[in-house]
Amino acid sequence: MRWILVGVDESEPAAQAARFAAGLAAGAGAGVRLAYVSVPNLLPERPYAKLVKEMAEQEARSVQGFLAKVAAGLQGCPVQTRHASGPPAETFADLAEEGDVWFAAVGSRGRNAVSRVLLGSFADRVVHVCRKPVLVVR
């Protein structure tokens, strides 16, 4: 099975990209794989090991809840979810390297969007570094 890897965050453009991808997937017998990338916090492990671990666990629970909610809103195709952490675009591009990823899809702007910016930094960087085809949804 081929999957469209969709980068999602809590923004409306991301939700729109997920719906658009689901429509494409439904028509093509493919599935949608929602990917959420958390940015790791910059606390040093050593004195903060416990706190860092707790924060990561909390983030994981919160992201799983969010992804489940987005997945529940999509219709017509199988949906999978992925959660990874690291530099957002590079980590997303790495997820796109998986052999069953057909192409990647991203919203043109994310949650930190400035309205006059037509293409957000995440989408911009993804189209630069991703080796799979990238669909920028508007």
Partner 1 sequence: MGPVLVGCDGSAPSGRAFDWAARAADRFEAPLHLVYVVAPVVMPMELTGYALGQMVQEHQAWAETLLGTLREKLPPHVAARCTTEVRHGSPADQLLAAAHDKGAELVVVGTTGRGAAGRLLLGSVADRVVHLAPIPVLVAR
Report the DSSP beta bridge partners of residue 101: 3
B/e letters for 52-83, b = 16+ CB within 10 Å, e = fewer, are beeeeeebeeebeebbeebbeebeebbbebbb
- Closer CB to partner 1, 69 or 116, in the complex: 116
Q: Is 53 near partner 1 (CB under 8 A)? A: no
For residue 117, the SS3 value is coil
Site string (12-51) toward partner 1, x via CB under 8 A: --------x------xx-----------------------
Q: Is 103 near partner 1 (CB under 8 A)? A: yes
Q: Is 101 near partner 1 (CB under 8 A)? A: no
How many angstroms separate the CA atoms of 48 and 118, rounded?
39
Q: Is 138 near partner 1 (CB under 8 A)? A: yes
Q: For binding to partner 1 (CB under 8 A), which residues are involved?
A: 20, 27-28, 103, 118-119, 123-124, 127-138
